[in-house]
Amino acid sequence: MIVHSDISQTRLDPAELATQIKRWGGALGFQAIGIADVDLRDAEPRLLEWLARGYHGDMHYMARHGASRARPDELIPGTLSVVCARLDYRSESARDSESVLRDADRAFVSRYALGRDYHKVIRTKLERLAQRIAREAAPHRYRVFTDSAPVMEVELARKAGLGWRGKHTLSLTRDGSYYFLGEIFTDLPLPPDSPVDAHCGTCARCIDVCPTRAIVAPYLLDARRCISYLTIEHHGSIPEAFRPLIGNRVYGCDDCQLVCPWNRFARPTSEPDFAVRNGLDDVSLAQLFAWSRAEFEDRLAGSAIRRIGHERWLRNLAVGLGNAADRPRAVAALRRRADDPSALVREHVAWALARLGDPR
């Protein structure tokens, strides 16, 4: 939403307004609010080099927007400040991630996707915050974002003092990395916060643990190798070389976060929308693979998972079943979809059956 501003009507000075914005954000449930300026020139060369290497894979929207990702005032003309927000998502009731990953017959879903779609949750909260700013302090021209446009969220969060960029490229704090980011681009001239220092030191656990070696260097990710990319963003066939390495990860991958020492201090979320739905924290691959398209659409309504569609969901599960430990059960589940209408699903089912010693 874009609302035209009238800066002359501002009822608080910028410093007071920034303080109030942080209070209002806290009242909405955000764990932290910070303010960044729009100067991302230092990050732009790294972004352009990353794109030139093709590390964005099939995420062509990143290349289309190019340098505009590093120029907030071009993306939304008139932007003077970015209000950055952090919202924790780790559910205390979810089954322990490591135990699920060790059980090759269970489906591992990245912990951020176990509850309601974060896009909807954060967008609603940010819209309320932006409207409160307009109502109680200063009419302004703004737009809300949460992982929904060419926005350099991690860099903006760093400048806003919400965290530093970890070597896995995710935003990271002393309280871990299990949180979402969101932004309000506004034409209000707010005083920016100071960046926090990085505290990764010599630790390289996230790099060493990556199953597909997607973190090719500290702070540099080749998305084409990343399991999160392969199971969520990638639309076609998953390269065969990566399929055994994916294991039972059917939607995303948390390995780099699980080994991060800072996540020992991560706090559980207080946001009820992020509570586990449909038992996705502890469910068998075979059970999920049996869902019809209608079941998929119905059960995952309001979930971030739903956006990949039933076809890619089955593709991912077929790979997981190909890596399963309970061979008879996996083979039985796969055989029931050996003649699936989707060529993409049939291809991955055939691979999984062959891997389990049951070629058709």
Catalytic residues: 147
**Contact call for residues 110 and 251 (beta carbons, < 8 A):** yes
**Contact call for residues 104 and 248 (beta carbons, < 8 A):** yes
**Beta pairing class for 171-172 and 179-186:** unpaired
Distance CA 289, CA 250 (A): 11
Distance CA 197, CA 158 (A): 9
**DSSP result, 172-195:** EBTTBS-EEEEEEEESS-PPPPPP
**Contact call for residues 90 and 269 (beta carbons, < 8 A):** yes
- Structure tokens belonging to residue 296: 């998929």
Return the closest-CA partner of residue 325 out of 355, 280, 281: 355
Token pair 């940010």 is found at: 126
Distance CA 105, CA 193 (A): 47
- Structure tokens belonging to residue 133: 């700013």
Token pair 């980011």 is found at: 181
- C-beta atoms surrounding 237 within 10 Å: 13
Distance CA 8, CA 11 (A): 9
User: How many helices and strands, by DSSP H and E, does the chain display?
Assistant: 16, 10
